[in-house]
Amino acid sequence: MAGTLSARIDALAAAEVRLVGLERHLKLQTDQMRVELSAQAHDYRSRLDAAEKALHRERSQTDALRRVLGDRGSNVG
């Protein structure tokens, strides 16, 4: 009986060691994923900012062109 109990304690201790290792591994994976997702979010925010600036430039140029063309149309008559 003592031998069985000792074997069970050893098995539980080994399981605990494996679980601690698994927990450490999962924490490292989670941290790595967090870093990667943060970098990806930063990249997407940068792309969005660049796209919004390009859209603003295009709208400004379109408005300027409309004003020029509008002025020409009013000067024709």
Over the stretch 18-76, which tens digit does the pLDDT of each residue have?
A: 999 999 999 999 999 999 999 999 999 999 999 999 999 999 999 999 999 988 766 65
DSSP state at residue 77 = -
DSSP SS3 for 19 = helix
How much is the pTM?
Answer: 0.61
Q: How far is CA 45 from CA 14, 23, 41, 53, 54, in A?
A: 46, 32, 6, 12, 14
What the block records as the tokens of 59 is 């709208």
Q: For residue 25, what pLDDT is reported?
A: 98
Q: For residue 75, what pLDDT is reported?
A: 66
Question: Could you report the per-residue pLDDT of 10-20, keeping only the tens digit for each?
Answer: 999 999 999 99
